[in-house]
Structure 1
Amino acid sequence: MLDELLGRAELKARIEELEEEKRHLERRAAAEEERRSEAARERQEAEAEVNRLEDRIEGLEERVERLAETDDVDVAFRGTEQLRGDRRDEVLSRLSSFETGPEGALTAMVHEDVPDAVAEALGDRSALVRRAAPCLVCVDDAGLVAAALDPPTPPAAFAEWGSGFRLDRSWFAPAGPTWVALVRSDLFALGVYDGESVALVDEVESDVMGSHSKGGFSQARFERRRDQQVDEHLDRAREAIEAHVGSGADRDLIVLGEGTVLGRFTDLADRTATVDATGEPAAALESAVREFWTVRLSLL
């Protein structure tokens, strides 16, 4: 009764209305924040899918271009094989032992354009060289040998005739102990490869955030935190390389791993390459080395 007389009842009712409106607005704000987080996650997934499709389109366009360059000639490889270890050495030995008359054996390192000498020697089958490039082509003037190999550490482009094929084993396997590093955004392994086995020298594993989920960090904070963790991990990897390998001209260093992080090591490495190696550091490094030094043989 007194509240009504003093007008406080109306004020209290108004306060309750405002409190309820405040709670409603807070719920709307929370829902909007969740939608923004979900939208950011979906945008990330969409961008990743767009990148995947762009890579696929680029690959298909290159394939169409190569097929167009064949002048509609239907040619196919006589066979292909992945060579490693003893099998690789056996094939290289056979090719190295091939002897013919002067100017009877053509060797060519093809990176992009097919040399005239290769096109003349293979005719329509030179289209296969475009598909296999970059590759080292070995073919003789009698057509007894016609093969392409993809050297892990290829030389500069050349094409020359001789009495035998020009093959340098260092293009296909290390000439001596070689430093090899595997770098991922959360893992680093460093070892020495002698052509047969890998000796692990150092390893670094870091706890890097995975994909973002609802709740906790906002999307932007999550990405900043993850990028910081990756940067710290890569800095530790560089420090390990510099500590063990150094920067002298008398050492060889090959850095393998994720394409997104290899750019951080091009100034240290003699060569970099993308590989798909997962698992524990020692096993992952061995897998990366095996993948990198596997040689694809294509019979033309």
Structure 2
Amino acid sequence: MSGKKKVAGNLGSLLNKYSGKEKLEDEIDKLQSHILELEIDRKRFEKNENTAKRALAAKQEAEENLKAANVKIETLTHQLEGKKAEVSEEISFTLIEEIVLPKMKNYTSQVASVRSDHDSLITAYITKKEMNLNAGISKDVMEELDQNSQYLLQKIRSDTGYVMFYDRMQMIQEVIVPPIPFERSSIGISDSFITEQLNETLTKDINVCVLAAHAGESLIGISSDRTAFDEDMVIRSSVKAKHTKGGFSQRRFERLRDEDIDHHVEKVKNALKNMLEQATVEIDMIIACGDTVLANYILENIDTDIAILERNIDARIEKHDTNSILRSLFSCRRYKL
């Protein structure tokens, strides 16, 4: 309404300004065109305003839905973790044991003697690389296993891979972790278990250098027969025990402890270099065990192309039986699924 009053006011002023009828009509046409433009602009503005309001409402609704979905996801994740914990407590290996090398011959012999009237025996050799890539056993073969076995396989941790012997009748469900890595992966389903690759790994000629690292007491040694060291050496240093109190005294104590450890590392590193340089056999592999973080620190600047294998074993250094570390290193770990 105010727009029309404005137009009427403009017409009055124009009548006073112009005396010619034609000029007056031209001015009226221009004003009417301007009014039409204003009306179009008004409708466009109202339309955009409505669109903006709808977009804002849609955005608020989407944000509320997203918030609700995140809450639901968090709740389900918490419930899933609880279920996993329950399953973990209920499902466990029926047996975990270490089998020393001499007894493994009898083990593989018994496994190889098992026969089936039809192809129902699954043998799977899985390398560490495939375990890390979560490749491992193919989906088709995995579906042949019972659910408990599928779950337990995911819990196995190994630096050397593993071999699984599995009977579809679930009479035999075994996993063996070898002392040194398998060279290749393979899966077979037949009327007997395939033990040749395991036997080859267990009897393979290999010269190893062992580094059992501990703060203050470390062992290095070379072995060519897996049962005893050809030569070995225990390096000892004075390293302070960990401080249990807080404050400045603890920080100072820990600094002194770190200096002691650095000194021990240098002693072990020099001894290891000398042992490798003077070795009478060609070393195929360095096996690091004990405190593997410390072992890697010792090996950090050792100039060698020798393969390094980490083994997570309880590498206690027995004063009168250092060969016990070798027995542990070359034992197999057995799981019954």
Structure 1 residues 155-174: aligned runs within 5 Å: 155=182, 158-161=185-188, 164-165=193-194, 167-169=197-199, 171-172=201-202
* Runs of 4+ off more than 6 Å: 64-67, 69-72, 99-103
Partner residue in 2 for 1:54: none
> In the aligned structure 1, how far is the partner of 2:97 from the partner of 2:221?
28
Runs of 5+ in structure 2 lacking a partner?
A: 1-79
User: Are the equivalent residues in 2 in contact too, given 1:137–1:147 (CA < 8 A)?
Assistant: yes
Partner residue in 2 for 1:32: none
Deviation digits for residues 260-287 of structure 1, max 9, x if unmatched? 412214555611234333455553x434
> In the aligned structure 2, how far is the partner of 1:244 from the partner of 1:257?
19
Partner residue in 2 for 1:251: 284
Structure 1 residues 70 and 278: alpha-carbon distance in aligned structure 2, compared to 1, 3 A threshold: closer
> In the aligned structure 2, how far is the partner of 1:84 from the partner of 1:66?
38
Structure 1 residues 292 and 299: alpha-carbon distance in aligned structure 2, compared to 1, 3 A threshold: same
Structure 1 window deviating more from structure 2 (253-262 vs 242-251): it is 242-251
Matched residue SS, 1:122: coil
Partner residue in 2 for 1:89: 105
Partner residue in 1 for 2:69: none
> In the aligned structure 2, how far is the partner of 1:154 from the partner of 1:263?
19
Instruction: Quote the offset at 1:118 in angstroms.
Output: 3.8
Partner residue in 1 for 2:177: 150
Q: Tell me the percent identity.
A: 18
Partner residue in 1 for 2:31: none
Structure 1 residues 114-263: aligned runs within 5 Å: 115=137, 116-124=139-147, 125-134=149-158, 135-140=162-167, 145-155=172-182, 158-161=185-188, 164-165=193-194, 167-169=197-199, 171-172=201-202, 175-193=205-223, 194-212=225-243, 218-246=249-277, 250-263=283-296
User: Are the equivalent residues in 1 in contact too, given 2:286–2:308 (CA < 8 A)?
Assistant: yes
User: Are the equivalent residues in 1 in contact too, given 2:239–2:257 (CA < 8 A)?
Assistant: yes
Instruction: Quote the offset at 1:75 in angstroms.
Output: 5.3
Matched residue SS, 2:297: helix
User: Are the equivalent residues in 2 in contact too, given 1:173–1:293 (CA < 8 A)?
Assistant: no
Partner AA of 2:328 in structure 1: E
Match of 1:289 among 326, 331, 335: 326
Runs of 5+ in structure 1 lacking a partner?
A: 1-63
- Give the RMSD, CA atoms, in angstroms: 4.0
| Paired residues, number | 234
> In the aligned structure 1, how far is the partner of 2:82 from the partner of 2:230?
41
Instruction: Quote the offset at 1:196 in angstroms.
Output: 2.1
Partner residue in 2 for 1:107: 124
Matched residue SS, 1:147: strand
Structure 1 residues 152 and 185: alpha-carbon distance in aligned structure 2, compared to 1, 3 A threshold: same
Partner AA of 2:296 in structure 1: G
Instruction: Quote the offset at 1:253 in angstroms.
Output: 1.5
> In the aligned structure 1, how far is the partner of 2:82 from the partner of 2:179?
23
Instruction: Quote the offset at 1:86 in angstroms.
Output: 2.1
Structure 1 residues 183 and 98: alpha-carbon distance in aligned structure 2, compared to 1, 3 A threshold: same
Partner AA of 2:206 in structure 1: G
Partner AA of 2:311 in structure 1: A
User: Are the equivalent residues in 2 in contact too, given 1:185–1:230 (CA < 8 A)?
Assistant: yes
Structure 1 residues 202 and 250: alpha-carbon distance in aligned structure 2, compared to 1, 3 A threshold: closer
Deviation digits for residues 217-245 of structure 1, max 9, x if unmatched? 94333322221221121111111111112
TM-score, length-scaled by structure 2: 0.56
TM-score, length-scaled by structure 1: 0.61
Deviation digits for residues 156-212 of structure 1, max 9, x if unmatched? 773421654252346457633322121111112222332222344222111122234
Structure 1 residues 4-153: aligned runs within 5 Å: 68=84, 77-96=93-112, 105-109=122-126, 111=131, 113=134, 115=137, 116-124=139-147, 125-134=149-158, 135-140=162-167, 145-153=172-180
